[in-house]
C-alpha cells in the first residue's frame, strides 16, 4: 500500500512539473464557469465518472480554449490520484477560490453533482447582473469618451491656431487667459504633475501602506451617495450567494464566511467578514456577528436571523442574494438614467465655456477694429 502511495506521489510530482512550465491561466469569467458547472453537474448526476465528465466538458464543441486547457490539466491531475479541488487549485487561478472551496466541501460530503448545479445557478445570476449593468452603462461610457476626445481636440488642435492672434492683443479676457494657462500647464508642466503624483503615492505608501490605503478608499467608495448604495448591494449579494452555496455544500461556517468575504469583491467587506468569522468562532450567531459590521446591506442580518430560526440558513442566504441582486440592478438603472442627462449637461457647459473663451477676444478685436474705422 505504501509503495502504491509513493508511486502516486511521484507521478503527481512529475505531472506538476510538466504543467508548471505552461503559461498562466487567465481567470475564467462567470459566464464560462456557469456553463462548465452546469455540464459537470448534469453528467455527474447521471452517473458519468468524474474523469470522463471532465474529458467531455473539455472537448465540447463550444468550450473556450482557455477553459478546455484548464479542464484538461484538472483531469490529468485527477487521473494521477489528486482530489478535484486540489487539481483545480493547481491551475494557476483559472478557477476562483470560492469554486475550489465549494468543490472541496462537496467532495467531503459526497454532494459534488448538486454543488456544481448550485454553482452553475450562482455564476449564471452573477453573469446576468454584470451583463445588465454593462448594457446600461454603455451610453454613459460613450459620452465620457466623446468628452475626453472633444477636450483633446479643442486643446491640442483648435486652440493653438488662435494663439498667435491673441498674442498681439493688448488685453485678453480672463476666461481666455485661464484656458491658455491650463493648456500651457498640461504641455509644459506634465513632468511636475507626474512627479507630484509619484510623491503623493510614495507618501501614502509610507504613511498608511497600500493595503490600508486601499481599505480606506474602498470604505469611502461604499459610503458615497448614490453609487455607494449600488456597490453595497452588489457586494453584499455576492457575499450572501457565495456563503449560501458554501454552507449548503457542507463547508464549516467560519471558513465559509472568510471565503465569501474574499469573493465579495470589496476589500472593506472582506475585513468585516473576517471579523464576523472570528465572532462566530467565539460562539456568536451569524446574524448578530454581521449586524455589528458596517458596509453590508442592513437587511442581510435580518434575513439571516429568519433563516437561522427556520433552520434553512443556506436557502435564506440565496434568497437574500437574489433579492439584493434585483434591487442592485434597479438602483444602478436609476442612477444611470440620471447620469446620462447630467453628462450631456456637463458636455454642453464645457463646450460653451470653451467657445466663449475663444469668441470673446475675437468679438473684442472686431469692436476695436470698428471703432478705429469710424
State the Cα–Cα distance between residues 161 and 300, nearest whole angstrom.
60
- pTM confidence score: 0.67
- Alpha-carbon gap, residue 292 to 271, rounded angstroms: 13
Whole-number Å distance between alpha carbons of 199 and 266: 27
Residue 59 φ/ψ, nearest 5 degrees: -110, 15
Q: Name the 3-class secondary structure at 22.
A: coil
Query: pLDDT tier at 189 (50, 70, 90 boundaries)?
Result: low
Q: Are residues 177 and 36 in the same domain?
A: no
Q: CA 32 from chain center: how many Å?
A: 16
Examine the domain organization and report whether 45 and 183 are in the same domain: no
Which range in 228-232, 337-341, 362-366 is most confidently predicted, on average pLDDT?
228-232
CA diameter of the chain? 113
3-class DSSP assignment, residue 208: coil
356: cell is 466663449
> CATH number for the domain including 217?
1.20.81.30
CA distances from 185 to 150, 181, 192 (A): 18, 6, 9
Q: How confident is the model at residue 3 (pLDDT cuts 50, 70, 90)?
A: low
Total Cβ atoms within 10 A of residue 48: 16
Domain boundary among 93, 112, 136: 136
Give residue for cell 460530503: 109
**What pLDDT shows up at residue 128?**
81
Cell of 59: 472537448
Its domain, for residue 90, covers 2-136
* 193 and 281 part of one domain: yes
Amino acid at each position: 500500500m505504501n509503495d502504491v502511495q509513493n508511486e502516486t506521489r511521484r507521478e503527481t510530482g512529475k505531472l506538476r512539473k510538466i504543467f508548471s512550465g505552461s503559461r498562466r491561466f487567465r481567470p475564467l469569467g462567470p459566464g464560462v464557469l456557469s456553463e462548465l458547472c452546469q455540464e459537470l453537474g448534469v453528467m455527474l448526476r447521471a452517473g458519468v465518472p468524474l474523469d470522463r465528465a471532465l474529458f467531455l466538458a473539455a472537448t465540447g464543441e463550444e468550450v473556450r480554449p482557455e477553459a478546455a486547457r484548464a479542464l484538461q490539466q484538472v483531469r490529468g491531475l485527477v487521473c494521477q490520484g489528486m482530489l478535484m479541488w486540489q487539481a483545480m487549485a493547481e491551475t494557476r487561478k483559472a478557477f476562483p477560490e470560492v469554486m475550489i472551496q465549494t468543490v472541496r466541501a462537496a467532495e467531503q460530503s459526497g454532494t459534488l453533482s448538486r454543488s456544481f448545479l448550485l454553482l452553475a445557478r450562482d455564476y449564471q445570476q452573477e453573469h446576468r447582473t454584470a451583463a445588465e449593468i454593462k448594457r446600461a452603462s454603455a451610453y454613459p461610457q460613450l459620452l465620457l469618451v466623446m468628452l475626453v476626445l472633444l477636450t483633446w481636440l479643442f486643446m491640442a488642435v483648435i486652440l493653438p491656431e488662435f494663439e498667435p492672434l491673441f498674442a498681439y492683443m493688448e488685453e485678453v479676457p480672463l476666461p481666455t487667459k485661464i484656458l491658455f494657462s491650463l493648456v500651457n500647464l498640461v504641455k509644459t508642466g506634465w513632468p511636475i504633475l507626474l512627479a507630484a503624483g509619484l510623491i503623493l503615492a510614495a507618501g501614502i505608501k509610507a504613511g498608511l501602506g497600500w493595503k490600508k490605503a486601499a481599505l480606506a478608499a474602498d470604505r469611502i467608495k461604499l459610503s458615497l451617495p448614490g453609487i455607494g448604495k449600488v456597490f453595497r448591494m452588489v457586494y453584499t449579494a455576492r457575499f450572501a450567494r457565495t456563503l449560501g452555496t458554501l454552507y449548503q455544500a457542507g463547508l464549516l461556517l467560519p471558513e465559509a464566511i472568510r471565503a465569501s468575504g474574499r469573493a465579495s469583491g470589496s476589500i472593506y467587506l472582506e475585513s468585516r467578514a473576517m471579523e464576523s468569522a472570528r465572532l462566530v468562532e467565539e460562539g456568536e450567531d451569524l446574524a448578530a456577528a454581521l449586524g455589528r459590521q458596517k458596509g453590508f446591506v442592513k437587511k442581510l442580518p435580518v434575513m439571516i436571523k429568519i433563516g437561522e430560526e427556520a433552520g434553512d440558513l443556506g436557502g435564506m442566504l440565496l434568497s437574500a442574494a437574489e433579492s439584493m441582486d434585483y434591487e442592485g440592478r434597479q438602483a444602478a438603472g436609476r442612477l444611470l438614467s440620471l447620469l446620462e442627462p447630467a453628462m450631456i449637461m456637463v458636455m454642453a457647459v464645457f463646450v460653451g465655456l470653451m467657445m466663449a473663451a475663444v469668441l470673446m477676444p475675437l468679438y473684442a478685436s472686431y469692436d476695436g477694429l470698428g471703432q478705429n474705422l469710424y
